């Protein structure tokens, strides 16, 4: 019996999970307490479960390379999948609060690994609240890229504290980013775009990339097409 006959949530034509079986509400309150496990510190995360072909088992954590890319609020994982093949030697992870969406990304990655032996071993996803637990997953100065693509705008002024880019949260992002690390943002909400730009420009740990640097960065081209 084929995999698609056993599991109707898998598309027969592509072998990938069908989004309609993983529908979730568009927004989640990032300030609420969610019920999922949270590691005490980065050393308590067994990343060999995420990258079984690339990392040693737990207990040898000090010997393996670290995650470098974090897609915060990764949605259905489009950017991660594109980055996985563009940077095959780089470990990357998506962080998503919605449980059904996280499950979809997990199934998508597993299906791609089966269909493409040797590929997509460097990408994974975790269900977590990144606004609360970023330091629980990454040590100081380990990330080289963080992505905040089309985040929830939280239009009401009273909800601006829920925005994933804020002066306070930028302190935490600066902590886990290496010197020279890059934050990528994009939005289709003009007011939110100005908000994120203002927060970053006014933070002493960040400076804008030049137009020349942006043109030379292959990642920039994916921001509006892969997610």
| Residues designated catalytic | 152
C-beta separation of 45 from 137 below 8 A: yes
- The CB density around residue 147, as the number of other CB atoms within 10 Å, is 25
C-beta separation of 117 from 110 below 8 A: no
Q: Give the single-character DSSP code of 155.
A: -
Which residue, chain included where needed, has tokens 């509400």? 25
C-beta separation of 146 from 205 below 8 A: no
Helices (H), 62-188: 78-86, 99-115, 130-137, 167-176
Determine the straight-line distance between the first and last CA of the chain, rounded to whole angstroms.
34
C-beta separation of 123 from 93 below 8 A: yes
Q: DSSP letters along 56-74, please?
A: PPTT-GGGSPPP-EEEET-
């Amino acid at each position: 019996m084929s995999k698609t006959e056993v599991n109707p949530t898998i598309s027969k034509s592509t072998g990938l999970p069908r989004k309609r079986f993983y529908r979730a509400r568009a927004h989640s309150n990032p300030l609420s307490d969610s019920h999922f496990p949270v590691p005490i510190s980065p050393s308590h995360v067994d990343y060999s479960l995420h990258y079984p072909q690339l990392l040693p088992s737990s207990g040898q954590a000090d010997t393996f390379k670290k995650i470098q890319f974090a897609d915060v609020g990764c949605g259905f994982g489009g950017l991660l999948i594109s980055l996985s093949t563009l940077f095959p030697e780089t470990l990357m992870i998506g962080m998503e609060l919605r449980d059904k969406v996280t499950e979809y990304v997990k199934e998508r990655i597993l299906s791609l690994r089966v269909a493409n032996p040797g590929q997509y071993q460097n990408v994974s996803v975790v269900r977590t609240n990144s606004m609360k637990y970023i330091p629980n997953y990454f040590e100081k100065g380990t990330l080289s890229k963080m992505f905040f693509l089309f985040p929830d705008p939280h239009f009401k002024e009273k909800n601006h504290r829920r925005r994933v880019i804020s002066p306070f949260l930028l302190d935490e992002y600066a902590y886990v980013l290496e010197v020279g690390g890059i934050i990528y943002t994009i939005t289709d909400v003009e007011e939110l775009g100005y908000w994120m730009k203002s927060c970053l420009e006014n933070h002493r740990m960040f400076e804008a990339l030049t137009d020349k640097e942006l043109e030379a960065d292959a990642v920039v081209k994916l921001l509006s097409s892969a997610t």
